[in-house]
Chain A
Amino acid sequence: DAGITQSPRHKVTETGTPVTLRCHQTENHRYMYWYRQDPGHGLRLIHYSYGVKDTDKGEVSDGYSVSRSKTEDFLLTLESATSSQTSVYFCAISESIRYRQYFGPGTRLTVT
């Protein structure tokens, strides 16, 4: 399996609090992605990165920000969590934007 870890794996937080999820890779892949998975929607892209400090928005980026200061780490921040952001969040990596993606184990976030 590709070396991808996500932390934390589970988190419960209250509405209005900031939350940061971390994705760490050991594969030195250029591209990193954050998705959220909700029943009936499959995976939806939040943000992605194509290099250190190079990021772009995905389909559902409102309410989320990202940062990538090192090749191996990609952070997803919810500035002020809302109940609609309760979801399972997956990080993925790939060598090329058109190639297969490798997924992390996911983070289950509950916003109460």
Chain B
Amino acid sequence: SQQGEEDPQALSIQEGENATMNCSYKTSINNLQWYRQNSGRGLVHLILIRSNEREKHSGRLRVTLDTSKKSSSLLITASRAADTASYFCATDPDNYGQNFVFGPGTRLSVLP
């Protein structure tokens, strides 16, 4: 599997529900980032969490990082139809010279 692999591949929920997406990775990292991509658009940065942090919040977003399990989760609370998008995690390996590695993404559909 890939470094920075999201799970599930697709998620469909009702408006107002919470959405949780997971990211697993293989090597030690400096930080992990989450991005959102609306259909036909470029990626937009959501949040960055450093390897020495365990949880971070930004508005309705909550990101956790468990370096012992090499995993992260993104929680979107009280989802809205506008949250419909693909979500990607990007890991920053701590091996010098390696660039960010993006996972294949989770496609989130929020139904009105």
Contact = CB atoms under 8 A, between A and B. Distances in A.
Contacts of B90: 101
Given A98-B31, A98-B92, A100-B33, A42 B99 contact: no
Q: Is the interface of B mostly helix, strand, loop or mixed?
A: strand
B43 A43 contact: yes
A102 B33 CA distance: 12
B99 A58 contact: yes
Interface of B: 2, 4, 30-31, 33, 35, 40-45, 48, 88, 90, 92, 99-100, 102-105
Contacts of A4: 42
A43 B102 contact: yes
Contacts of A44: 102
A45 B90 CA distance: 12
Interface in A16-43: 33, 35, 40-43
